Structure formats: structure tokens, C-alpha cells
Amino acid sequence: MSELFCEGEYALLLLDRRRRYLVKLEKGKRFHTHRGFLDLDQIIGRPEGVAIESSMGVDFYVFKPSLWDYVESYERPTQILYPKDIGFILVYADIGPGCRVLEAGVGSGALTSFLAYHIRPTGRVYGYDVNPRFIEVARRNLERTGLLGYVELKLGDVYKGVDERDIDVAILDVPSPWLAIDPVYRSLKPGGFFVSFSPTIDQVEKLVESIEAHRGFIVLNVLESFTRSYKVRRGETRPETTMIAHTGYLLFARKLSLQF
Amino acid sequence: MSELFCEGEYALLLLDRRRRYLVKLEKGKRFHTHRGFLDLDQIIGRPEGVAIESSMGVDFYVFKPSLWDYVESYERPTQILYPKDIGFILVYADIGPGCRVLEAGVGSGALTSFLAYHIRPTGRVYGYDVNPRFIEVARRNLERTGLLGYVELKLGDVYKGVDERDIDVAILDVPSPWLAIDPVYRSLKPGGFFVSFSPTIDQVEKLVESIEAHRGFIVLNVLESFTRSYKVRRGETRPETTMIAHTGYLLFARKLSLQF
Amino acid sequence: MSELFCEGEYALLLLDRRRRYLVKLEKGKRFHTHRGFLDLDQIIGRPEGVAIESSMGVDFYVFKPSLWDYVESYERPTQILYPKDIGFILVYADIGPGCRVLEAGVGSGALTSFLAYHIRPTGRVYGYDVNPRFIEVARRNLERTGLLGYVELKLGDVYKGVDERDIDVAILDVPSPWLAIDPVYRSLKPGGFFVSFSPTIDQVEKLVESIEAHRGFIVLNVLESFTRSYKVRRGETRPETTMIAHTGYLLFARKLSLQF
Amino acid sequence: MSELFCEGEYALLLLDRRRRYLVKLEKGKRFHTHRGFLDLDQIIGRPEGVAIESSMGVDFYVFKPSLWDYVESYERPTQILYPKDIGFILVYADIGPGCRVLEAGVGSGALTSFLAYHIRPTGRVYGYDVNPRFIEVARRNLERTGLLGYVELKLGDVYKGVDERDIDVAILDVPSPWLAIDPVYRSLKPGGFFVSFSPTIDQVEKLVESIEAHRGFIVLNVLESFTRSYKVRRGETRPETTMIAHTGYLLFARKLSLQF
């Protein structure tokens, strides 16, 4: 038994691995592609994984979108994090159901969405951004994926401090993370994880220097990650020709207990 | 307010990023390192992040172990997956609270542990292995991390079929994944994710070929991932000299609905 | 004292690291760019490294082109090798002045040009291709760089054998290198280097298997190489966002003496 | 016809791709390995590529060492450059027969050897080092490979200036390359290449900043390179498990003509 597509929900139309379209299923509507249009009525009431024929006779496969499918289609006024970085953060900073996570530099809400998805149902994400427009975009994006209920979006400057205490993990994606060291220290519980994502190595260097001067954390790791996709077919298997060379550096630290 | 260390639980003793020890806190016991011994009584009743002095006057920081800290210390009769691969799987295959995940090739239970951690509290992991010894090791490892309650470990051969149906994600880490295509197909719900981890490119090639012949899935991506750690210090910042060049290739596919 | 630019020779006009133009200096001619035109007369008689102002007031720097500058501007009916691969071949296969090199799959003549440049003045490159058009293109390209005198271009099929004997290094860039193992064996001197460049891993696998069956070579190494460029500026230093993920795999072997 | 091994010359004994030994052929001597000893008399008078049986019945293949074989066996008081970096420098900085190359930071003479090999017979390498011990080691190493005749080794500090003028390429492998910008500028011909190798990104950043303040060069590229080796065998093909993650960053610039 599988759930069928309902009117009003989103569907992922997949032609091949590159051509993927996120579409809201509305009665009587058509979705136009360069391979002909699809009547969305054809999808409503059908199960996942069926092939829908376009007006040009091309088959599109229809799926419930994964969270990453949603995030890829997000309205994006900012650069977003990629699965390679998001996944590493989840694993390395021990983020799972029940965690209380502080995020500063919410941007488009991509990482926020994954945090919300993984701390469900009892955890909570506190997401700060100084830009009211980003807060609005992130709210819309989270609403569409049904994850807004797990997130408290807050217009505010992490450099000036945050309200939350006893946080499990604090994640920064801000231009001057060193200005947030003390606010992060105060918000985290002892042993809590401090994660920072920075596009430039200079930011990481300055952050490490400032953390060492502050003495409230121990740095566990600084790293970058890569993924390389392959074209696989008997006799023609090879990596794709280009890849993302850089998104940013990840720093992981844990909070020390100074006053004991 | 933070939780204090109790007798009987595990603590992570951290000298620096490479020298980390997972220790069970037992009254009256000493833990010996090349930098002197530590009286474990010193840790019981203290909060996370405190410094404990060894008999040689060296400070060790004490933390509640993260899941990855536990997994790194697992009894390991088999090669385990690393955070870069585990994290990518979590994100890309949409694994979160409530998911029903089939895993074949449980091995030491490293990936199993992360799956269990992330599908809590309402999901379930069904873990198969043909080797009774691995099932026993995985059971002990999962017990130690308190995650065994979310996992059903089963001695059995995925090539011959599995009992479960309506599975959200099926993950294979087996030598001949192409032999498991039909069992995986039957176990997954429509649209379900099929993930396979393989050390050699030949395995991936044969798997893709077999999936295409089976026609029950659409392949989304085949990729490998890397992480590179840095030594960061003002004026001396550079990547570490060596890195892991290869663990394995990841294949992601989704199940099609053939009979509609 | 430096050499000055003469009429009829080529100059490299450099706006920045990406915008580089190779131009033949002809009296009375103009070179048009999106930043205005340059009177080529301004360059003739000037030394390298001077700034030439365009009609829009933008400075272009003028240099004698390096061999790579020439090769980048080659007429290219085929994919060419990149510096990372060319350089590795030069070093690892011991190619230098005086070497006698066999190349099969000359294509556009990019690698041929570097071989010719490095075996000067006493060595020789024997370049085969089955496609008469490529032989013509390679001839024109080599002529422009003044290296044709070191190369014998031959229309012919390496799979069917080559005329040369006592070759120091044989380099293949052909679709089925395993068909050329015996011709390469006969052309090389004992101890000579056999290099093969292949875009797919399947080609490498089949080649290794065939070499091992032939028993006339020992395989030294199979590898791939990467380069990643950086944007460097105080406080903004980071890798470029994208990179070439793959060109091809390099195989290096040396010829054994079977009959002693 | 091939050249035979003579008494007094070096031979490379190859068991497999990892176990390679450079041995001087002396009459009546034995070479001991963990797989038994070899009588070196067996090699003298034989051609390259023959198999020599050890006392334990194991076959070693014998080759004339490539330059890289020699360099790998060099006495090495310092870190040396690897083929990936050496090759890239040769190609990108246009180094070939006849070039006049300045090298500062000769160290063990690894790069020096390749420069000497490639500028033969009419070019020249001017190699500076401030450490008399390194100059001595480099001299011994270059002597062994027969390349000393193409190199002028000089005890001296590039920061204080060099004697040479009209140099084609200047290559620095020194801790503070920014202190050598003006000496390099004065030694190079207009349009000449300035190459710097630095292990840390901070060095590159400071160098770029200083070059831009000096205004005598245009920076072409800053990059790092990688190589990844493969184990290739039908059905088992995969990258080696570990790789070198970092050697250093390469900067390439060309000299401008300021006073025209």
C-alpha cells in the first residue's frame, strides 16, 4: 500500500538525473517543459514512481519530493549549503531527534530545513538572521516543506547575543564568526558543539585564533568536503567532467567548562 | 544546568584532536595513557568539558561521547562507513525520524547506529547480515550506545529476500548488490530510496547495468565523497599531509511503480 | 636587454587571468575586444610586459606566448590534454632532450607540442593518427609554434604496427589501447616507458588485463590528477567555485626483456 | 639493440610498484632484501627489463633508473617536490631546452635535477640556498644523476639579491617569498615567469599582496594539485585507500615592463 498523490501537494517530475521539476498539483493545470506539457490531473490519485506521458510522448517519473528536492527548489537570495556539508554536520555534531540547535545566518533556510527535519519531533531550531528579507524567505521555504513548526525564526544579530541557553549545537554561517564566540559560549550547554561554516580560509584562521584566545572551546576539526559524480555505463564509466571545487570550510569545536 | 557524569557511563577523554579515548567510568579505577594515568573518580559527578589532570600533570578534557565517538571505538571486524558517507546518505535518501530503513550488510553496525539515531523514536531499522559473528558484534555495539531498541538485527541473506514491506529506504553494503535488486524492489514502497555502497567501480557498473535491466528503479546519482582536514594556525594554515583517498562509491536510486 | 616584438609574430594580450588573447602582429591591423580595440602597431618594437591601452582606455599586458598559451588557442577538433597530465607524463616517463617518443592518437597536437618542445634539439617525436584531418590540424598547430621540425606526423593505425624501433617512450591516447600493446612492445627499447591516457576506467581495466596477459611489461602506476585554482586576496582567499573533475586516467608501464 | 648494464652504474630493482630499490652495480657485491639477496654480477652485462632471481627464488626486474627514481632515493634533509608539482611547473612556466632558470631554496636538489634535465644542453640552472649543508647534499645528489654540469649551486640569500640577469624563469621554495620579490624582479627578463611554491596558504596570501604592492608582475594563477593512484584489476578496481592531501600551493606570475 502506498500513499497516492493528492491535489495541492508537490510532486517531483523526473526526466533524468539533471532535469527535475518540483510542481504543485493543481486540478486542470498543465506543466510545460521543453519536452511537451503534462496534465497535472494525470498525477492526482496515482502512486509514486509512475510514468506520466507528456504531450510529446516523453515519459516523466513522478515522486514525492525528498527534503533535498524541496531545498534545491527553494527561493534562494543567498548561497545555500550542499548535502555533503549538511550531512557531515548532522553526523559530526551529533544532531538528531530532540536536539536544541541554534543557527545564526539562516539565509534561505536550507540548513535550517535539515536541522528541523532531524530534530523532530521534540527538538527545536532557533534560527537567527539580521536580514528581515531572509527571515521572510526562510519562513516561506520552511512552510512549504511543513517544517516551520519546529523552528523559531528570529530577526536578530548573533554578535549581540541570543536568548537561548542550554543549547546542544550552535551553527554559524556568518561573515565574522569570531564576533559570535562569546554569545555562542553562553548559549551552549557544557560539551555542546560549536560549528562554523566559512567560505574563506582567512575566516577560519581568524576564528581559530579567537577561539584559542577565548579559551572556552576545544577545536576538534577543520575540514572541507567534496563530492564527485559519475556517469556509469558498461565501458563508458567515468567521473562527470566538472565538479564543485569549493563551498566552504567547516569548523567543529566543543564547549569547555571553565568555572569548576 | 548541565548533566553530570555518572558511574557506569562512558566518557570521552580528549588530549587533542587525534588522541581521544572512550572510557567507562568505574569507581576506583584508573585509566592509563602515555601521559600518565587518570583517576576516574575525578570525573564522576563533574559536568562535561572540565579538565582532568593526569598523574603527569597533563590536562585531559572530558565529554559525553558523540555517536561518532562511540562508533569510532566500536569493535570492528569489518570496514566501517565514515561520516562523509553516512551524512550524505542521511541527507540524500531523506532519512529522518519515523523512517523504516532496511540495511543489508550490517557489519560492525556503524551505519546501523546512525540510522537508528536518526529514525528515532518512531522509525525502525531492519538490519540483515549473513555472518552471525557480525550480528553479534553489531548487537554489542548498538547496546553500548543505547540504540539497540530501534533496530531489528536479523541473520539472513538479502539476496534470498527479506520479510519487510513498505520500506522507505533500503541500503546495501554487500559484495554483489545486483543479486539483491529484486528483494530490494519488493521490500520498498513506491518511490522508496535504494542506496548502495561499493568499494569498487566494477561493482557499481554491474549494479547499474542490472538495475537498468530490471527496470524497477531510476538511478539518481552515483558519487564518491572526500574530506580533507586542515591544520589551522595564523601563518601556518595548511591541509593535513595525508587523507583518505577512497572508501567507496554511493549509488542512489528510487523505486518505480511498474504495474499501473 | 630583451627581445622586442616583431611584425608577424604572435603576442599574448592579457587583461586578467581569464581573458587572454593570442594575436598575430600585423601592421595596420586592429584587434577588437569587448573593452575596445588595440592598434597592433603599438606593440611592434616594444618589449614584453608592457601595457597597451585600448580605445576604451583599458590596459592590456603583452607577452610572448608560452607554449601552453599557444596550445590553448589551438584549432581543436579533439579533446586535448591539460598541463596537469602533460607535466606528469614528462616527469614520470623521463621525457627530456634527446628522447625518441612515439605518440599514437595525435589529435590536435597538444601533447605532441610539449613532447617536441622537451625532446629538442636532438630527440624526435613520431606522431600517428588514423584521421587525416587531425594530422592536418596537428601539422598547422605545430607549424605555428615552430615545433614541426621535431615531429614526424604519420597517417597510420598504431593497432596495425609502427615503423619505429628503439623508442624511449610510447604514449597512447586511443580508444582501444589494448590493441596496440604488441606494436608498442615491438617499437620500444627494453626498459622503455609505455604511457596510456584513457577517459574511462573500463579502458584502463581492459588495458591492464591485456598487458598482464601479454607479459611484456610491468605496470608501474595508474593514476588520475587534479588541479584546483584559488582566488587569493587578503581576507577573501578561497578556491575557485568549480573545477575540472576529470580528464582521464594515466597508466605507466615499462617494457620487460622477455627473450634473454 | 639496447644498452647493457655496466659496472659502477645504478640499477633500479623492482619487485612491484611499491618495492623499488636503487642499487650501484659493484662486482662481487650482494644486495639484500626481505625476499633474499641478489648477486649484482648477475645484472652487469644484461639489458634492461630482465628478471633477476633472488636467493629466495623471487624475481626482481632491473631497469635503468628514471630521473624520478634517482630523486626518490636522494639524500633528503628537506621536503622535496613531487612529480605532480614539478611537471606542472615545467609546463606552465614554459621550461625547456635552453632556458635560464633561477631557483632559490635548492634544498635536496629534487626540483633542481628536473630543471637541469629539461634545460639541457644549452640552458642553465642557478641554484641558491642559504644553508651550506643543503648545497652540499644537492651537489652530491646532482652528481650522482650526472646533471651537476648544468647547474651552478650558490650559497647565498635570495632575499639579498642574486647576480644573474635576463633569467627566463625564477622559482622560489623559501619561507618568505615576499622578501624576494624585488631580487626576482631584477633577475628576470621582461615577460619572465615567477613561480613560488609554499606549503601554507598564508604565505601565498602575503606573497600575492606584496606582488600587487610591488606592481612589477601580473599573477596568472594560484593552484594546488593532487594525484590519486588506483589499484586496477578486473572486478577489483578502486583508488588506493590513502593519498597525499597536500604538498604546497603554486603561484605563477609574469614580469611586467614598468619603465617604458
Are residues B113 and B140 in contact, defined by beta-carbon separation less than 8 angstroms?
Answer: no
Residue D260: pLDDT band with limits 50, 70, 90: very low
Choose among B46, B90, B201: nearest Cβ to A87: B90
Segment D159-213, tens digit of pLDDT: 999 999 999 999 999 999 999 999 999 999 999 999 999 999 999 999 999 999 9
Same domain, D31 and D149: no
Same domain, C100 and C146: yes
Tell me whether residue A75 is in a domain. Answer: yes
Same domain, C30 and C77: no
pLDDT of A259 > 70? The answer is no
Choose among C234, C236, C245: nearest Cβ to A240: C245
For chain B, what is the domain count?
2
Segment B212-225, tens digit of pLDDT: 999 999 999 999 99
Question: What does the pLDDT average to over D48-54?
Answer: 95
CATH number reported for the structural domain that contains residue B51 in this entry: 3.10.330.20
pLDDT of res. B16: 83
Segment A120-134, tens digit of pLDDT: 999 999 999 999 999
Inter-chain CB pairs, A–C, below 8 Å: 55
Query: Please, which chains are in contact with A (at least 3 CB pairs closer than 8 A)?
Result: B, C, D
ipTM of the complex: 0.97
Same domain, D14 and D118: no
C242 CB neighbours in chain A (<8 A) are 242-245
pLDDT of res. C10: 96
Residue C259: pLDDT band with limits 50, 70, 90: low
Same domain, B37 and B149: no
Segment A89-99, tens digit of pLDDT: 999 999 999 99
Tell me whether residue D27 is in a domain. Answer: yes
Tell me whether residue A187 is in a domain. Answer: yes
Question: What does the pLDDT average to over A198-219?
Answer: 96
Segment D16-32, tens digit of pLDDT: 878 999 999 999 999 99
Q: Which residue has better confidence, C235 or B248? A: B248
Same domain, A36 and A164: no
Choose among C88, C220, C233: nearest Cβ to D17: C220
pLDDT of res. B259: 58
Segment D55-76, tens digit of pLDDT: 999 999 999 999 999 999 999 9
pLDDT of A260 > 50? The answer is no
- Mutation target among A200, A201, A246 for the D interface, most CBs of D within 10 A: A201
Residue A237: pLDDT band with limits 50, 70, 90: very high
C-alpha cell at D108: 635536496
Of D20, D48, D65, the residue that ends a domain is D65
Tell me whether residue B5 is in a domain. Answer: no
pLDDT of res. C260: 43
Same domain, D52 and D117: no
Tell me whether residue C4 is in a domain. Answer: no
* Segment (H or E) for C91: helix C83-92
Q: What's the domain range around B186? A: 69-255
- Determine whether the interchain pair C241/A246 forms a contact, defined as Cβ–Cβ distance below 8 Å: yes
C-alpha cell at B157: 541473506
pLDDT of res. A125: 98
pLDDT of res. A18: 82
Contacts of A143 (CB under 8 A, 6+ apart): none
- Determine whether the interchain pair A84/B83 forms a contact, defined as Cβ–Cβ distance below 8 Å: no
- Determine whether the interchain pair A245/C236 forms a contact, defined as Cβ–Cβ distance below 8 Å: no
Same domain, B30 and B81: no
Tell me whether residue B4 is in a domain. Answer: no
Question: Mean of the per-residue pLDDT values for chain D?
Answer: 96
Of B47, B65, B83, the residue that ends a domain is B65
CATH number reported for the structural domain that contains residue D161 in this entry: 3.40.50.150
Q: How far is the alpha carbon of B233 from chain C, nearest alpha carbon, in Å? A: 15
- Mutation target among D200, D201, D206, D209 for the A interface, most CBs of A within 10 A: D201
Segment C75-120, tens digit of pLDDT: 999 999 999 999 999 999 999 999 999 999 999 999 999 999 999 9
Same domain, C51 and C142: no
Tell me whether residue B260 is in a domain. Answer: no
- What is the pTM for the complete model shown? 0.96
Residue C16: pLDDT band with limits 50, 70, 90: confident
Question: Mean of the per-residue pLDDT values for chain A?
Answer: 96
Same domain, A152 and A97: yes
Instruction: Give the whole-angstrom CA distance, residue D223 versus residue D203.
Output: 13
Same domain, C209 and C137: yes
HEC assignment per residue over C18-64: CCEEEEECCCCCEEEEECEEEEHHHCCCCECCCEEECCCCCEEEEEC
Are residues B6 and B44 in contact, defined by beta-carbon separation less than 8 angstroms?
Answer: yes
B203 CB neighbours in chain C (<8 A) are none
HEC assignment per residue over chain B: CCCECCCCCEEEEECCCCCEEEEECCCCCEEEEECEEEEHHHCCCCECCCEEECCCCCEEEEECCCHHHHHHCCCCCCCCCCHHHHHHHHHHCCCCCCCEEEEECCCCCHHHHHHHHHHCCCCEEEEEECCHHHHHHHHHHHHHCCCHHHEEEEECCHHHCCCCCCEEEEEECCCCHHHHHHHHHHHEEEEEEEEEEECCHHHHHHHHHHHHHHCCEEEEEEEEEEEEEEECCCCCCEECCEEECCCCEEEEEEECCCCC
pLDDT < 50 positions in chain B: 1, 260
Tell me whether residue D2 is in a domain. Answer: no
Of B65, B91, B110, the residue that ends a domain is B65
Same domain, A16 and A28: yes
pLDDT of res. A258: 77
Phi and psi at residue C245, to the nearest 5°: -90, -20
